[in-house]
């Protein structure tokens, strides 16, 4: 990135929002393992390109329990969407950075990003 000015004091950022779901691993003694489900975002390599433009590497991992097979025998199915990419953003503008069809419905999963200046 020619002319990029690294943001002073910038660090990698991780956002975690989810729940730990118990999954039965052995029926004889009721042993469980826990699976994390939810939304996880990672921001790396944040760089100020100009007074109103920034660049960064964004990663998303979004998972949920498939409720379509609820009530069936066996462990729950966990659906997962993972995405990572480099983004350049104009400050104050919202943009869709990831979009995918939901695997269990006619819905769509979409991640919007907007970067604002904090003074």
In total, how many domains does the chain have? 1
Q: 43: domain range?
A: 5-114
Question: Does the pLDDT at position 89 exceed 70?
Answer: yes
Q: Say if 98 falls within a structural domain.
A: yes
Q: Say if 62 falls within a structural domain.
A: yes
Q: Say if 82 falls within a structural domain.
A: yes
According to DSSP, the β-strands at 13-26 and 31-50 are: antiparallel
Q: Say if 119 falls within a structural domain.
A: no
φ, ψ at 68 (rounded to 5°)? -65, -30
Which of 52, 59, 63 shows the shortest CA–CA distance to 21?
A: 63
Task: Give per-residue pLDDT as tens, 54-76.
Answer: 999 999 998 888 776 666 666 67
Q: Say if 92 falls within a structural domain.
A: yes
Task: Give per-residue pLDDT as tens, 15-38.
Answer: 889 999 887 776 667 788 888 899
């Amino acid at each position: 990135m020619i002319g990029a000015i690294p943001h002073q004091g910038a660090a990698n950022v991780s956002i975690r929002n989810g729940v730990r779901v118990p999954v039965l691993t052995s029926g004889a003694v009721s042993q469980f393992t826990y699976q994390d489900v939810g939304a996880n975002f990672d921001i790396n390599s944040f760089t100020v390109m100009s007074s109103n433009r920034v660049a960064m590497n964004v990663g998303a991992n979004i998972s949920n329990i498939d409720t379509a097979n609820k009530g069936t025998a066996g462990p729950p199915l966990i659906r997962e969407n993972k995405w990572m990419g480099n983004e350049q953003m104009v400050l104050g503008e919202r943009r869709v950075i990831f979009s995918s069809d939901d695997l269990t419905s006619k819905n769509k999963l979409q991640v919007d990003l907007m970067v604002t200046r904090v003074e």
